[in-house]
Amino acid sequence: MLALAVAALAADQLTKATVVHRLRVGEAVDVLPGLQFLARAQHGHRVRVFTGRLSFVVLLTAGAVFLDARVLRALGSAASARARRHRLLLGGSVSNLWDRAYNNFVTDFIYLRVLPNFNLADSFIVTGVALLIFALVRGDPGERVESFP
């Protein structure tokens, strides 16, 4: 049932472990033009509002993970598009939560010159949220109500 969430968590943790073992913080490796692997340790929250308040960030993230898991459970185990989006969000959220609780920081390593550093978990979270917003605005194809002729 939660295979996608577990796969997202495992992929993120594996890539972060690889980066930590191969690069020092601040060290960069060019991958493609405009793309680098640049190891960074993020001690606060992405928007830097909660920097230095790790306990609060862990509690806030844990609350979000709990709510997301409740929504996923309410959607049921059917392989609906809605449930898959929540599983992606859940996997990314749990992975970053684990890093904050266990390491006291999150490892960011993907650097595109037009964006701040991020990791796979961030990508999963952003993708899941974007898909949820798209579904809210447009609706899921299987649940559309036909308009009047």
Each residue's pLDDT expressed in tens, for the chain with a length of 149 residues: 478 889 999 999 999 999 999 999 999 999 999 999 999 988 765 555 556 666 777 787 778 777 776 766 665 554 455 566 677 888 898 898 899 888 888 899 999 988 889 999 999 988 888 877 877 777 655 554 445 44
What does the pLDDT read at residue 55?
74
pTM of this structure: 0.74
What does the pLDDT read at residue 111?
95
Instruction: Report whether 91 contacts 15 (CB < 8 A).
Output: no
* Pairwise CA distance, residues 128 & 34, whole Å: 25
Q: Which residues contact 37 (CB under 8 A, 6 or more apart)?
A: 19, 23, 28, 29, 31, 109, 110, 111
Instruction: Report whether 123 contacts 109 (CB < 8 A).
Output: no
* Pairwise CA distance, residues 116 & 64, whole Å: 23
* Pairwise CA distance, residues 6 & 95, whole Å: 9
